[in-house]
Structure 1
Amino acid sequence: MASELPAMKWLIFGCGGVGGYFGARIAQVPGQKVSYIVRNKALAALKEHGVRITSICGDVQIPAADLGPTLDSQNLDKEERFVADVIMLGCKAWEAEGCLRMCEPWCGPNTLVLPLQNGVEGLSTIKEIVSSWGKGHALAGCCNIVSAIAEPGHIKHWAANPPYITFGEFAGAPTERTQQVKAILDAAPGMEGHLEDDALAKIWEKFTFICSTTAVQATTGPHATQDVIPQIPELYLTWRTAMTEIINLCHSYGIKYEMEQLEKRVEALKAAVGATTSCSRDLWNGKPSEVDDLLGSVVRMGKEQKVPVPTISACYGTLILRDRIARGETLPIKAPTEGHRVLGPMWGAPSA
């Protein structure tokens, strides 16, 4: 029963599609106090209105009074200190290391650190950082949700029903404290918590899917939603080939991936009407993306393990320029001469 659950303090870095959604759901469980680390407009919105979720699993508003302290990421040295029971990283993969280091003052001896980023390269870094603190305990984790910020403090969730968090120990059986987190996630409405004995295998399974889907979607364009991919033979073949490449890479590390999981992902594609990956959306919108953490990491690991990944490598090569433009990198690109019609996040819509 919810009344028997331990009261916990949750510190969530970020109030976007991941941290905002799962934090609000956890805040619905009696005894749970959720705090966010945010900045600028999100900071103002959470302090005034709290966090609001519009979801296919049911809408919810968590008033500011029902949240824990909302912390300003740009002035953390002035913010209230408390020991968090769980630190959850709801930021992007490339931000995770820096965000985690900012959370160190709120980490106690028994604090659990739960990353929810896409990708597998950064997990060892999370574990090493927490170990270097001499306090806290890092878990392996990821999540499955299709959501985005509608406006600061307001998250819209429209696919993946219900969303879930996959997590577990890096090795060995779950600790009692990890099992308590599982019980709280089970009690949270509009989501599930999947505590896995082999969490790394589950994270790699999700990684395989998100990489392959992003490779096809982001390269093709916004019309290639997940349900469309299996309906177009050329897209579907590219997607399956990419999946197979990453599955082979997974096996090279001794990570279990059973081929029946691939067929389950085909059914997941068909059911995800209108769904797109967050990495694809960021690339299309001219924002910094996780393309290097996803596709780039596959290319690097493939080279390291001597596993060919030509499909992923080709897609990565076509997409990385968009990401570098979004990050403001100095590139040998010149603005088009007058009259040229150029589309894309760098130049905007063509003139009539």
Structure 2
Amino acid sequence: MKVCIYGAGAIGGYLGAQLAQAPGVQVSLVARGAHLAALRENGLKLLIEGQEKLVRIAATDDPARLGPQDYVIVALKAHQAWEAAEHMAPLLGPDTAVVTCQNGVPWWYFHALGGDYAERRLASLDPDDRQWRLVGPRRAIGCVVYPATEIVAPGVVKHIYGDKFALGEPDGSLSQRCLALSEALETGGLKAPVLENIRDEIWLKLWGNLCFNPISALTRATLDVVASDPGTRALARAMMAEAEAIARALGADFRVDVERRINGAARVGAHRTSMLQDLERGRPLEIDALLTAVQEMGRLTGAATPYIDSVLALVQQLGRSQGLYPVFPEQPAAAAA
């Protein structure tokens, strides 16, 4: 089995290091800059459970050197995955599966969904249908990422918590390609359940990300504060209620209620959300996959989203003021609610 991790950052590096332990799996990494130079010179160092693991994995910034793969696991942020779509071409053989590890709504969301919204595209995620055309939705396998990791130095990835990567086909089938990848990931020491409705799992994680991330970026507050302060908790609850109405209109379900989801976030403690970390480090903010796409889906289903609209406008302006947004080509403004 040939597996390329496209985007060997914190999550991609952790995935690659673990997957490389699975017998019969040939892992390669696509990376760039100082991180790539360190991977080539020193290998990938994974700091996990108080130990250091050194793994030697082929790494390059040129996918053409690797050739067609059985799986391409895209461990980039949504805007980066959009930018990289045409560069993936050398990795894509006739049966190559592309595993999307992005937070938020995936670009293929309406593929094989059926009903009134079958095969719709989301302009906020995939301008000009770039990924839909160049990658193709039939290749897509959904993946919901639960671990927290970070790059502490070039070539060095620190695992903080979690080891679950939930997988699922857009059509809900328990396909052989999903089951085979799950087996490889679990042999490498990860949890990789194959789910019949990956969209439910996507919404469960997105439910928190769409409110906690932007509120924390706007207030500079850690997750425990956002989830427990009466004002920010009420705002998060209102945004989550709007998102739940959209998700249910599209056929998704939730296995926990809003209060339990918020309480779970509060128990994580003084964690800085990924959007707050990106803001502090001067990195582009991942706004569209977490918020703009949900707003677009609200327009599609006729659901009102006044709280989401307001927070989205604020965090977009924050990003623009810092030169961290937009990251896609300028799109027409959404119609007023």
State the TM-score, normalized to the length of structure 2: 0.82
Name the aligned partner's letter for residue 289 of structure 1.
Answer: L
TM superposition shift of 1:208: 1.5
Q: In the alignment, which residue of structure 2 is the partner of 1:61?
A: 53
Quickly say closer, same or farther: Cα 1:93–1:263, change in 2 above 3 A. same
Q: SS of the residue aligned with 2:196?
A: coil
Letter in 2 for 1:173: S
SS at match of 1:113: strand
Q: Which amino acid aligns with 1:237?
A: A
Question: Does 2:93 align with 1:97?
Answer: no
1:274 is displaced (CA, Å) by 2.6
1:216 Cα deviation after fit: 2.1
Tell me the TM-score normalized by structure 1. Answer: 0.79
Q: Do the aligned partners of residues 199 and 44 (structure 1) sit closer, same or farther apart at CA in structure 2, a change above 3 Å counting? A: same
* 2:147 alignment partner, SS class: strand
The answer to whether 1:17 aligns with 2:10 is: yes
Q: Tell me if structure 2 keeps the 8 A contact 1:116–1:141.
A: yes
| Distance change >3 Å, CA 199–CA 45, structure 1 → 2 | same
Instruction: Tell me the C-alpha RMSD between the 2 structures.
Output: 2.3
Amino acid paired to 2:135: V
Answering whether residue 223 of structure 2 is matched by residue 226 of structure 1, we say yes
2:232 to 208, 230, 235: 235
Alignment partners' CA distance in 1, 2:102 and 2:50: 24
The match for 1:294 is 290
The offset of 1:248, in angstroms, is 1.0
2:147 to 134, 145, 161: 145
Q: Which residues of 2 match residues 1-352 of structure 1 at below 5 A?
A: 8-55=1-48, 57=49, 59-64=51-56, 67=57, 69-73=58-62, 76=63, 79-124=64-109, 126=131, 129-131=134-136, 137-158=139-160, 161-189=161-189, 191-221=190-220, 224-258=221-255, 260-324=256-320, 325-327=322-324
Taking the aligned partners of 1:155 and 1:317, their CA distance within structure 2 comes to 34
Rounded Cα–Cα distance in structure 1 between residues aligned with 2:65 and 2:166: 30
- CA deviation map 1:264-321 (0-9, x unaligned): 4234213312323212221233321111221222222223322122222222211112
CA distance in 2, matches of 1:184, 1:242: 37
Q: How far has the Cα of 1:128 moved from its partner?
A: 5.0
SS state at 1:10 partner: strand
Aligned residue for 1:122, secondary structure, equals coil
Residue by residue over 1:303-349, the C-alpha shift from the partner in whole angstroms, topping out at 9 and shown as x without a partner, is 332212222222221111232232487xxxxxxxxxxxxxxxxxxxx
For the residue of structure 2 that corresponds to 1:289, the secondary structure is coil
Shift of the alpha carbon at 1:113?
A: 0.8
Contact map agreement 2:295 2:309 (CA 8 A) in 1 = yes
- Cα 1:147–1:90 change in 2 (3 A) is same
CA distance in 1, matches of 2:107, 2:51: 33
